[in-house]
Amino acid sequence: MPDKVYNALFICTGNSARSVLAEGLLNGLGKGRFKAYSAGSHPKGEVHPMALATLEKLGMPATGYRSKSWDEFTQSGAPVFDFIFTVCDNAAGEVCPIWPGKPTSAHWGVPDPAAVEGSDEAKAKAFQDAAVTLKRRIDLLLSLPLERLDAMSLQRELRGIGKA
């Protein structure tokens, strides 16, 4: 099914930095093959301005994001996900909701750029580093022959990407 659009959800605790970066990168790089979303187990309520600046610097859409709870995606009418990715270690250790459709999941942990202290340059570098790591993983995801992989092979590939 080459015309299938895959839905992916990136989860972090606060949904203000890493998960938003991943959402923007996959939507931009996926060229319509993917529709990415992001959410948090305990959302901060606002997107970190450096996450948006980093997306803009990378030529990705930098508007329309908001920090939201993963509960939003358990409601009737929410998208059914093909993939769920945790991008922070805290979220990976939490008990996640039961997602309809049995999506393939993987942990793609990235250090929290919002936790970096110091100069604006140091903070910007942390956001850039997180985005580069996520972009490399998303590029690997996009190179997979998704329609030809069985569920176990796909799970193994996605988990391997998270260690890349």
Active site residues: 12, 88, 96
Place of tokens 């890349």: 164
Candidates 162, 142, 146, 163; CA nearest to 154 is 146
**Burial category of 75 from C-beta neighbours within 10 Å (exposed 0-12, middle 13-18, buried 19 and up):** exposed
Please give the Cα distance from 92 to 109 (Å, whole number).
Answer: 8
Task: Give the residue carrying structure tokens 């610097």.
Answer: 57
CA proximity to 92, closest of 13, 22, 8:
13
Angle between helix axes 120-143 and 151-162 (nearest 10 degrees) is: 160
Query: If phi over 0 gives left and psi between -120 and 50 gives alpha, with beta otherwise, what is residue 117?
Result: beta
